[in-house]
């Protein structure tokens, strides 16, 4: 039974058991008699990497907004994570953040974050979700297609393939089916095969890549901070790096480069790349710390957005969420938080549905509001990416002008706690980007510019 005894449907299926799928499934357990999560991978019992989430080997920053939503969906989650070794830090005080030629002012701001590995976060959320009474998990099953009514107006189920080709469950039916299969989602093809248009796509080519390595954490090598962020210096400098604590007294070092300037995966090349960053903070640590893993690389060709909100016709009983809708340059750490915001939105849309029949309007209502969530994160990410020559695609209006202002804004944060605080609020998606343009903030940026030689 659902927890609020207000079931608006019998059965919901979520395809994909990563962050977007887990959070969507959690919300759906409040509104459907039962929920089935279908995942291609076998879930590990503990906080281990798995094939379907290769990005889990790289730094995963959990923005404050994402953590807040996850903690509402799973009360006590943050405490559990801290007990499991996640490191709590103050974005304003504990981060050594170098950008636009200087370090941000450091002070106790109280914008608290959690540093941890992606597998630890995912395993805790999964474990919490699977304790709910009305969830069933079907692992090692791949969704191969959609089943629709004869007139294709409503999606009624999915077809499945087990990895061993076993005959078992081969179709499932439901009132609502959610695609959370990530960037490689096949919804555009599946919808097309049912006679719908494919969603329009926005693609901003960045040719970005991350290379990451885990080290034993020795705080003596970084006495003054818990975490380091060295931003790139576009247009000429395309390289960035971050060092963050993980559970188990470890550090994750992630180096990243835009427009093909990718970090190497051999030890000397990785260290040399770290040495070539705008400052030596990360190099100084990782050249002396003990490595605990290989160096792994992940390439991200583009920011990709699928505009389901613009589709004139869309079948009933179907939704798409998470990276299947928008996948961003990971350098801005937004993906999991956008998934969480979409899960929260799904809950609000379902609360407005007075009856199962009302699910008919769900997709239009959901995609319209989800587009606003995506737009906020997209414009922050894409505008920054357009600082790099060679980035191509649809450029949001006034990007160059805004970027010039934002550079001056960053320079004001070297000494001004108020602008620095505003930055961390916007970056963590707990305030809208318009905060950076509030007259009070603009005045502080101008004043700080006048004070600089
Ligand atoms: C290198 C990198 C670093 C990142 N860093 C950050 C960060 O710092 N902070 C942040 O918030 N976000 C980050 N992200 C983004 C974040 O990982 C995703 O936004 C987040 O995982 C949500 O994605 P998702 O659940 O929609 O899809 P995914 O995480 O891609 O998961 C899709 C799931 O669907 C399953 N699946 C796929 N096809 C099928 C099928 N046909 N049938 C059944 N199951 C299927 C897969 O096995 C997988 O479990 C990063 C991404 C990358 C690539």
Q: Which of 279, 300, 321 is the last residue of a domain?
A: 300
Same domain, 43 and 185: yes
Q: Are residues 185 and 332 in the same domain?
A: yes
Do 131 and 36 lie in one domain? The reply is yes
Q: Are residues 193 and 336 in the same domain?
A: yes
- Residue whose CA is at the smallest distance from ligand 1 atom 47: 52
In this structure, the answer to whether residues 295 and 306 fall within a common structural domain is no
Residues 309 and 334 in one domain: yes
Of the candidates 187, 152, 116, 150, the one whose C-alpha atom is nearest the C-alpha of residue 336 is: 116
Phi, psi of 43 (to 5 degrees): -75, 130
Position 6 scores a pLDDT of 64
Atom of ligand 1 nearest to the CA of 63: 11
CB half-sphere exposure, 2, CA atoms < 13 A: 20
Last residue in a domain, options 300, 332, 351: 300
Do 243 and 355 belong together in one domain? no
**What pTM was computed for the model?**
0.96
Find the 258 Cα to ligand 1 centroid distance in Å: 21
Same domain, 319 and 195: yes
Atom number in ligand 1 closest to CA 16: 34
Which protein residue's CA is at the shortest distance from atom 3 of ligand 1?
A: 330
Task: Determine the Cα angle at 73 with ends 83 and 180, to 5°.
Answer: 105
CB 7 within 8 A of CB 171: no
SS3 336: helix
CA-proximal residue: ligand 1, atom 46 (nearest): 52
Q: What is the pLDDT of residue 1?
A: 44
Domain containing 334 equals 9-54+65-74+120-202+302-383
SS3 329: coil
- 328 and 418 in a single domain? The answer is no
Name which residue sits closest to atom 27 of ligand 1, judged by CA.
182
232 DSSP 8-state letter: -
47 and 126 part of one domain:
yes
Residues 280 and 207 in one domain: yes
For residue 181, being part of any structural domain is answered with yes
Residues 296 and 211 in one domain: yes
User: Residue 19: which of 372, 342, 247 has the closest Cα?
Assistant: 342
Q: At what angle do helices 399-412 and 362-385 cross, to 10 degrees?
A: 70
- Within a domain: residue 151? yes
- Residue 77 backbone zone (phi > 0: left; psi -120 to 50: alpha; other: beta): alpha
Pocket lined around ligand 1, Cβ cut-off 6 Å:
15-21, 38-41, 52-53, 55, 58-61, 142-143, 180-183, 210, 298, 300, 322-324, 330, 333-337, 339
- Of 358, 383, 408, the last residue of a domain is 383
CA dihedral 4, 6, 10, 13 (to 10 degrees): -50
How far is 140 from 172, CA to CA, in rounded Å?
15
335: domain CATH number is: 3.50.50.60
pLDDT at 217: 98
User: pLDDT tens digits for 72-127?
Assistant: 999 999 999 999 999 999 999 999 999 999 999 999 999 999 999 999 999 999 99
pLDDT at position 353 is 79
Atom index in ligand 1 nearest the CA of residue 160 equals 42
- Residues of the chain falling short of pLDDT 50: 1
CATH number, residue 101: 3.30.9.40
Rounded to the nearest angstrom, the distance between the alpha carbon of 182 and the centre of ligand 1 is 5
Number of separate domains in the chain: 3
Residue 364 structure tokens: 């239009």
Predicted local distance difference test score (pLDDT) of residue 116: 98
Residue whose structure tokens are 């030890």 = 267
């Amino acid at each position: 039974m659902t927890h609020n005894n207000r079931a608006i449907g019998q059965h919901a299926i979520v395809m994909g058991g990563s962050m977007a799928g887990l959070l969507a499934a959690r919300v759906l357990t409040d509104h459907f008699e039962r929920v089935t999560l279908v995942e291609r991978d076998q879930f590990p019992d503990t906080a281990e990497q798995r094939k379907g989430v290769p990005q889990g080997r790289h730094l995963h920053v959990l923005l404050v907004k994402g953590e807040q939503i996850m903690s509402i969906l799973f009360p006590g989650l943050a405490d559990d994570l801290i007990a499991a070794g996640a490191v709590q830090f103050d974005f304003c005080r504990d981060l050594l953040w170098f950008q636009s030629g200087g370090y941000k002012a450091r002070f106790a701001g109280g914008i608290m974050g959690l540093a941890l590995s992606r597998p630890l976060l995912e395993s805790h959320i999964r474990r919490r979700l699977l304790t709910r009474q009305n969830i069933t998990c079907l692992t090692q099953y791949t969704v191969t297609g959609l089943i629709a009514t004869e007139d294709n107006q409503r999606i009624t189920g999915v077809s499945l393939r087990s990895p061993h080709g076993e005959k078992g469950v081969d179709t499932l039916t439901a009132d609502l089916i959610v695609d959370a299969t990530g960037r490689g989602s096949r919804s555009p093809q599946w919808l097309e095969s049912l006679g719908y248009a494919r969603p329009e796509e926005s693609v901003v080519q960045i040719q970005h890549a991350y290379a990451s390595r885990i080290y034993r954490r020795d705080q003596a090598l970084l006495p003054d901070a818990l975490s380091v962020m060295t931003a790139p210096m576009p247009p000429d400098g395309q390289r960035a790096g971050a060092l963050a604590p993980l559970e188990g007294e470890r550090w994750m070092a992630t180096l990243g480069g835009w427009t093909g300037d990718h970090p190497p995966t051999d030890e000397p090349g990785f260290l040399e790349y770290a040495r070539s960053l705008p400052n030596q903070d990360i190099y100084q640590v990782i050249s002396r710390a003990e490595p605990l893993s290989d160096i792994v690389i992940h390439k991200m060709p583009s920011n990709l957005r699928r505009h389901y909100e613009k589709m004139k016709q869309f079948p009933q009983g179907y939704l798409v969420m998470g990276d299947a809708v928008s996948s961003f340059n990971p350098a801005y750490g937004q993906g999991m938080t956008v998934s969480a915001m979409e899960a929260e939105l799904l809950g609000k849309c379902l609360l407005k549905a007075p009856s199962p029949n009302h699910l008919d309007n769900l997709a239009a209502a959901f995609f319209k509001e989800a587009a606003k969530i995506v737009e906020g994160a997209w414009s922050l990410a894409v505008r920054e990416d357009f600082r790099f020559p060679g980035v191509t695609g649809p450029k949001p209006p006034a990007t160059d002008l805004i970027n010039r202002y934002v550079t001056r804004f960053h320079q004001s944060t070297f000494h001004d706690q108020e602008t620095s605080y505003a930055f961390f609020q916007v970056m963590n998606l707990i305030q809208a980007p318009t905060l950076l343009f509030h007259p009070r903030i603009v005045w502080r940026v101008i004043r700080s510019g006048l004070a600089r030689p």
